[in-house]
Amino acid sequence: MDFVHLLMHSLVDIPANTTSMPITYYLPKNTTMDGSHSAFLFFPQASGHIQMPAGMQLSFHPLPTYGLLYVSRGTGHLTCGGRNFILTANSFVLFDGKEGFSITSNSNLEHDLLYFNGTPIQCFYDELKKLDGLYISALSSSGLSSLLRPLLPGGTAYSSAFAFHRMLTDFLSELIDYSSAFEQGTSVPDYLRQLREYLDENFFKDISLEGLESLFGVNRYRLCREFREHFDQPPLQYLHGARIAKAKLLLAETTLKVHEISYQVGYENPNQFIHHFKKITGWTPAAYREKKR
C-alpha cells in the first residue's frame, strides 16, 4: 500500500465540508524514490501544498512517519503527542506521526507538508524535543527558511535519495544549533514553568490575571509579556486552549450535555464556552460531537 493510501486509511473520519472535493485534494502526493538505502537514510514519503477551508479538521491515527509543516498563510493548530501547536503564517512544526495527530484550520489554512522517515530521525527528533525546537513561530526570522524551502513542494527537486538525505540532515542540524542557542539565550524563568503547569492542572478553576499576579507575586503586565515571549501566547489564551482540549475529549468520550462540560472545564457561562470552542476549533461543541460520532 502506498503512503497516501495509508494516510487515507488512518483518517479518523472524513470531514463533512469535503463533499465538494475528494478527500485526496487535502492530502499530499506520493513521493517515489529509490528505496534500496531506506534502512540507512532519510527518505520522503509524500509532500504537497494544501489549502484547507476554515473550520476543517483532519485527524489521523498513529502512522509510521514524521512530518514537516510550514504555513504560508491562514491560522489553525496542529495537535500531536499532547501538545497543541499554534499555526500562523511563517510558522513551522516538526511532528511525530506515531503519536497520532490532527490539523485544524481556523481560517483558510495554506501550508506545505512533507512526510518522511528514516533511521536517523529518532536521534534528531529526541534532541529537538529536549531543546523545545519542534516549533518555530516565525521561521524566516530564524534564517532557516532557505534550508527548508528546497525540501518542500515547489522547491529544488532532489535528484536522489542521497541528495534528499543531505538536504534534510543539513536542515535538522541547523535547527538543533538554532534551538540550542535560543534556549541558552532565553531560558524560561522558573515561575513561568510553574505558571504553565498550574494552568495545565487547574484549568477548571476560576482563573484571572489578578489571581495569577497574587499567586506568583509578579506584576500582571510583566507576567503576560514574558509568558507570551516564551510560549507564543498570553496566559489566558493558553488557559482557554487547555480547557478546550479537555472539552474535546469529554465531547467525544462521554454523553455529558454541553452545559455540563462547560462547567467541568471552567466556564460558568455555556455561551462563553461555545464562543471559545468555536474560535479555537472552528466547530460548535454540538457539531464537533456529531462529527466524532
Give residue-wise pLDDT tens across range 1-32: 789 999 999 999 877 665 578 888 899 998 87
Structural domains in the chain plus CATH codes: 3-185 (2.60.120.280), 190-292 (1.10.10.60)
The DSSP annotation for 200-242 comes to HH-TTS---HHHHHHHHTS-HHHHHHHHHHHHSS-HHHHHHHH
Q: What is the pLDDT of residue 80?
A: 92
Torsion-angle region of 85 (φ positive above 0: left; ψ -120 to 50: alpha; else: beta): beta
For residue range 154-201, list pLDDT tens digits in order: 655 677 888 899 999 999 999 998 888 765 545 677 788 888 888 988
Residue 56 CB partners (closer than 8 Å, separation 6+): 15, 17, 18, 26, 104, 105, 109, 282
Q: What is the pLDDT of residue 214?
A: 87
Mean per-residue pLDDT, 232-240: 89
Q: How far apart are CA 6 and CA 29, in angstroms?
A: 12
Is 60 exceeded by the pLDDT of residue 291? Answer: yes
Please give the grid coordinates belonging to residue 93.
512544526
Mean per-residue pLDDT, 125-129: 93
For residue range 160-169, list pLDDT tens digits in order: 888 899 999 9
The DSSP bridge pattern shows strands 76-80 and 83-87 to be antiparallel
Average pLDDT of the chain? 87
Mean per-residue pLDDT, 218-226: 88
